[in-house]
Amino acid sequence: MKRIISIIIALMLLAGVAMGEAGGGARFTFATTDLEGNIMTSAEAFAGNKITMVNLWATWCPPCVGELGALAQVHERLREMGCGVVGILLDSTEADAVEKARDLIEENGIGYPVLALSEDMYDVLSAVDAIPATFFVDGDGNILGTPIIGAFPERYVPAVQALL
């Protein structure tokens, strides 16, 4: 059932179907695992960061995969500012996708956590209408501003600077 739900959500995102009105002011809380199966909560993912950039992506999305190398660089710049990055793999319920994601993470030098999609993350997906999508949260998981839809890594650091 989880697989069917994640596929439907991913297809809706790919098709550009808006799923609701969440966005700035909403709170993003979850419990999930990373791609190695280690449990991670939103409190752990956002702890110690002034702001955390959350990037929604999928292995079947060429723009998502295309920006991974730039995201590794963005992560380094944000870390210097006391901020973090978390990726969420939307097609994580597919075994092949997790293996492909692990390869992409290694190839692109991704040093930030990439998490599996979980049911308690679905509300946050209503803030976006396509992927890749990037949004920002404070240390408590409160969503700040509006998401950046599309692969625009040059916008991420200035967006964080504006939110600080």
Number of domains in the chain: 1
Tokens encoding 5: 């739900």
> Which H or E run includes 159?
helix 156-163
Tokens encoding 116: 């599996």
DSSP H helices, 50-141, are 62-66, 68-80, 95-108, 122-125
Find, among 12, 16, 46, the residue nearest to 28 by Cα.
46
16-20, 92-96, 150-154: least confident range? 16-20
Q: Could you tell me the residue range of the domain that residue 12 belongs to?
A: 2-163
* Tens digits of residue pLDDT in 109-124: 999 999 999 998 887 7
- Output the domain CATH number for residue 43: 3.40.30.10
Q: To 5 degrees, how large is the angle CA 28–CA 30–CA 36?
A: 130
Which pTM does this prediction carry? Answer: 0.84
Burial class (CB in 10 A: 0-12, 13-18, 19+), 11: exposed
Across the chain, mean pLDDT equals 86
* CA dihedral sign, ordered 95, 99, 100, 105: positive
- 24: confidence class by pLDDT, cuts 50, 70, 90: low
